[in-house]
Chain A
Amino acid sequence: MQEVKQKAIELLQSGKVQRVLGWKTGEFFYDLTPAVFETVEEIKKDFVFSPFCGANLSKYLIAESRKEGKIAAFLKPCDSYSFVQLLKEHRIVRENVHVVGVQCNGMCDIEAIKAQGVKGVTAVRQEGETLVCETLYGEKSVPYAAALSERCKTCKSKKIVLFDELLGENGEDDPDCGRFDLVSKLEAMTAEERFAFWQQELSRCIRCNACRNVCPACSCEKCVFDNDTLGTANKAAANSFEEQNFHIIRAFHVAGRCTDCGECSRVCPQHIPLHLLNRKFIKDTNELYGEYQAGADLETRPPLVDFTQDDCEPSVVYTRGGNGK
């Protein structure tokens, strides 16, 4: 924690960068918000790096990297994948960004802590495998693993794929993280059961657009849902099927570009497991076109906008999609 803050100060003081992208406390200690710092004083006062820094900073760099001067950004493994993917899409001006890779032990979710029976939490600190919580009713401890947010329990990688400097050790991919287990469960359902599942989940959507606004892959100059000339927005709004329409179109739009950072589900105020839609696409793409991780490198061509002679035949795709499984 202190190391990260120190680095932020150092970078600004040395004149290497003019701004620093990090996190500061929001209304509560656990709702940390991305923030741009321009002075050492601001950093000393507000900069935070804690187990609640879940927010993926890469998307902010689309706008920030186009401004005057250089900006330092602290990127966790997850964030680094999004960063590379955006670079691949020519969305970030690379030379204006100084990437500081920060290792991550998994980010916590206040709901998960509450679920452990710990109420009135005012602050937390990690002590080895334990998360010590200061509460209105005294100190309480929960296993760190139990306090993790859903996406961090099935963390796909501790590897920071691109950085200019690194704090701590770089990690590795974890192919056995089990992130597709829930998707497999959904796949095992009948079409009717699956429809009922998504109907149930998506009917809670209030179309706050938080998932879209936070998603690093949703970075269009103008979203199709905001574009009057296309008619997509009106269509989605005119339909009682609206929520499904919106989320399914969104999932299609980010297919092949989604790095599975899980921000959509983190920010959803209705706790809809939106990341499962994206993971289904990732799983299908892996199975049909071979393993592919968006944002893992700058070179590999994304399978959905690539064409090779050993691409699987449309009939194979059809059979897989059309057999009700």
Chain B
Amino acid sequence: MMHRIGVFVCWCGSNIAATVDVKRVAEELGKQPGVVFATDYQYMCSQSGQELIQSAIKEHALTGVVICSCSPQMHETTFRRTVSKAGLNPYMLEIANIREQCSWIHKDKETGTEKAIVLGRAAIAKVQLNAPLKAGETPVTKRALVIGGGIAGIQTALDIAEAGYPVDIVESQPTIGGKMAQLDKTFPTLDCAACILTPRMVDANQQENITIYAYSEVEAVTGFVGNFHAKIRRKARYVDETKCTGCGLCTEKCPQKNVPNEFNLGMDHRRAVYIPFAQAVPKIATIDANYCKMLQEGKCGVCSKICAAGAIDYKQQDTFVEQDYGAIVVATGFRPISMEKFDEYAYSQSPDVVTSLEFERLMNAAGPTSGTLLRPSDGTHPKTLVFVQCVGSRCSDDGRGKPYCSKICCMYTAKHAMLCREKYPDTDVYVFYIDVRAPGKNFDEFYRRAAEEYGVHYIKGQVGKIVPEDGKLKVQASDLLANEQLHIDADMVILAAAIEPNPTARSLATMLTTPMDTNDFFTEAHPKLRPVESATAGIFLSGTCQGPKDIPETVSQASACAAKVMGLLHKDRLVGNPCIAQPDELMCNGCSSCEKVCPYGAITYADKEFRTFEGMKVRRVAQVNPAVCQGCGACTVACPSGAMDLKGFSNRQIMAEVDAICK
């Protein structure tokens, strides 16, 4: 049957119409074989635009529809609903993207128009070969996985759990809490980070719907939205979690005293068996196998002897948990970048040059100096402090920093400077900045207070060089407003290091087939309209894994993310994608190429009997499980004989599109 095709060209206001002659596109496409109706309209997605399509379908008895408009990512669902309401199968619709792929990238109207016609022609050629498709349904596993136990992960998990769904938090460190646990005070209210975070950690621990897998990593993820399957590696702590009471006796008696303490960023030491900090959750000791004498040399055993609960188990092995999930939340967070490429700031030459996160620990009552600000080199009280902003941020030229603004540094530097001046009024505090960015609620007031009330010297300009000399740090800088060179003899320098995504995020993105940007931040499905969903269905983004954020913003995104997860878990069944793979058994070699590339495990094999010229023959042929196939199309490409095809995107359809373009 020859199709009766209707073509609808959208102006998208002036978005398309300014660079594409929409009338000519409709006129030209109207001449294509099979096209019985063609028109243009200002906003095809509007109520009246959709009604125009629906009445044309009825009036001209259309069997196929081509809409030349924006990207199908934008309105394919809308238009499928439109044609479906007019009685057409929703998969008898094709969209030619004449906005993102045409009008937006062309300046010349002639070129734009020609390309729009070509794209429309390709869509017409494809719809000629379309067949009605019907989607199946899949059940939803009502359980969420949150990867990362910082404030983002904790908040998302708490919200989901409170809505009644079970949530598992996987945290790679021995305790949840993340970077926020290391902070001293939080801007702009100056409340103590631990005081607001640790109750949340306890809540997470006590919430019966939450299971915390601390000191664990996600090893593998398979499946798809509503039906993920994850394998979680529970790293050996060499301590029985069910027995350890967190009394901490072992962490005091362990003779191995010189292990750099990562919680204090290596500025003091811990034992080989340790609890990262007093409020750790779960509060369970962990033996660091790299430093434990018993595990390294088989000699010692002090912790085992001293543990009243008998929790020490030197023979413990990594174990695995396997679990099904309906949704996965990525909350892998950030870390400050390494300072090793920034030699001019003498970070590696002097212990008195520290990063801001290290400074947080030096100011913190639970830090290595118990909260008294002392110079790491000699333990004296620093009098002159220089803060350098944008170290590695907004740095696009030399490849050693990051092109983006890390967003939090202006505010925490104002906080540090203010706290210094408040606690130690005898200090001189300088802040070197490019510009101060303080657009949050009460942020600009906060920064102005630092500069105006606390007498912090804010100097617009960059620090060029820092030279450690005679126990001082000689800071050479320029004051751009005064247009002069400054030489400051500082006691301490604090570098506002740029932040970058947690380095494990990249392998996780690969595992989850979730896109990232060039800076390794996860990409949201839509920058404005779908900011907490990833482009991969069922994968959600919480916190700084998606981009630099402060705590209030992280928490609101975390809750938004939880709301999206709840929306998904609330459904009992999801309508699947009918565009799935289908093998032509007569052509299939049974070679297993498709099975190997299938990321969903949707392909199996069966021995089937076929009639041939030489009688009945048994052959091994591929079978696709329609409930599991997600229509990614990898199999169709891997198949050497072209036996595997994707419904709705068949090899013939794609070839027809290419032909129509190249005609």
Contact = CB atoms under 8 A, between A and B. Distances in A.
A224 B592 contact: no
B587 A222 contact: yes
A232 B592 CA distance: 22
B589 A219 contact: yes
B651 A230 contact: yes
Contacts, number: 60
Interface string B564-594: 0000000000000000000000111111110
B651 A222 contact: no
A227 interface: yes
A307 B655 CA distance: 27
A235 B651 CA distance: 13
A91 interface: yes
Contacts of A168: none
Contacts of B640: 220, 224, 253-254, 257
B511 interface: yes
A302 B594 CA distance: 12
A220 B641 CA distance: 6
Contacts of B592: 88-90
Contact of B619 (A221, A257, A301): A221
Interface in B365-395: none
Interface in A205-249: 219-224, 227, 229-232, 235
A231 B507 contact: no
B243 interface: no
Contacts of B109: none
A2 interface: no
B586 A221 contact: yes
A268 B351 CA distance: 72
A309 interface: yes
B179 interface: no
Among A219, A222, A229, max chain B CB count under 10 A is at A222
Contacts of B23: none
Contacts of B652: 229-231
Secondary structure dominating the interface of A: loop
B164 interface: no
A89 B589 contact: yes
A283 interface: no
Contacts of B591: 89-91
B596 A306 contact: yes
Contacts of A305: 593, 596-597, 638
A301 B586 CA distance: 26
B596 A301 contact: yes
Contacts of A220: 587, 589, 640-641
A253 B642 CA distance: 10
B139 interface: no
B642 A224 contact: yes
Interface string B482-517: 000000000000000000000000010011000000
Contact of A66 (B596, B617, B641): B617
Contacts of A301: 596
Given A66-B617, A224-B642, A301-B596, A231 B589 contact: no
A230 B640 CA distance: 12
Given A220-B587, A222-B586, A90 B620 contact: yes
Interface string A285-297: 0000000000000
Interface in A151-204: none
B641 A222 contact: yes
A63 B487 CA distance: 86
A90 B588 CA distance: 12
A222 B641 CA distance: 7
A223 B643 CA distance: 10
B601 interface: no
Nearest to A311: B510
Contacts of B599: 307
Interface of A: 66, 88-91, 219-224, 227, 229-232, 235, 253-254, 257, 301-302, 305-307, 309
17 contacts: A88-B592, A89-B589, A89-B593, A90-B591, A91-B589, A219-B589, A220-B587, A222-B586, A224-B642, A227-B641, A230-B651, A231-B655, A305-B597, A305-B638, A306-B596, A307-B599, A309-B510
Given A253-B640, A307-B599, 7 more contacts: A90-B590, A221-B587, A221-B619, A221-B643, A230-B642, A301-B596, A302-B596
Interface of B: 507, 510-511, 586-593, 596-597, 599, 605, 617, 619-620, 638, 640-643, 651-652, 655
